[in-house]
């Protein structure tokens, strides 16, 4: 699995991130997994044409010492579909910018 990982979180950083993610993206699924919805304008042609599969998400797992974002764009409607795919370069850049913005907003140094 391709991932974007930020490790060596301090306990205070973990608490800040958890509070922020809980508020912004709701309570986590399966422990520490949050779902960040991909903006419509960043969908691939295949994803745009799959209305029944929308919306699409990135899964972000927050653990006490790290945060990992799968670089797989998923739908929560199906387990398998041709629209579920590794992020395109613009999608990957977008989710990294979202995570960087969160860290900046919370004044967390990486």
3-47 pLDDT, tens digit per residue, is 999 999 999 999 999 999 999 998 898 889 999 999 999 999 999
Q: What's the rounded mean pLDDT across residues 88-104? A: 96
Buried b (16+ CB within 10 A) or exposed e, 67-79: bbbbbebbbeeee
Domain borders along the chain are 3-105
Question: The pTM is what?
Answer: 0.90
Q: What is the DSSP string of 34-70?
A: EEEEPPGGG--HHHHH-GGG-SEEEEEEE-SSEEEEE
Question: Per-residue confidence at 106, pLDDT binned at 50, 70, 90?
Answer: very high
> Which pLDDT tens digit goes with each residue over 71-83?
999 999 888 999 9
Query: Taking the CB of residue 9, how many other CB atoms lie within 10 A of it?
Result: 19
């Amino acid at each position: 699995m391709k991932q974007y990982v930020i490790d060596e979180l301090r306990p205070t950083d973990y608490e800040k991130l958890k509070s922020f993610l809980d508020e912004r993206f709701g309570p986590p699924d399966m422990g520490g997994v949050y779902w960040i919805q991909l903006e419509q304008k960043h969908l691939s042609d295949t994803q745009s044409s799959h209305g029944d599969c929308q919306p699409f998400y990135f899964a972000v797992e927050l653990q006490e010492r790290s945060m990992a974002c799968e670089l797989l764009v998923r739908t929560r409607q199906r387990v398998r579909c041709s629209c579920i795919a590794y992020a395109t370069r613009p999608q990957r850049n977008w989710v990294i910018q979202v995570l960087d913005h969160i860290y900046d907003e919370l004044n967390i140094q990486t």
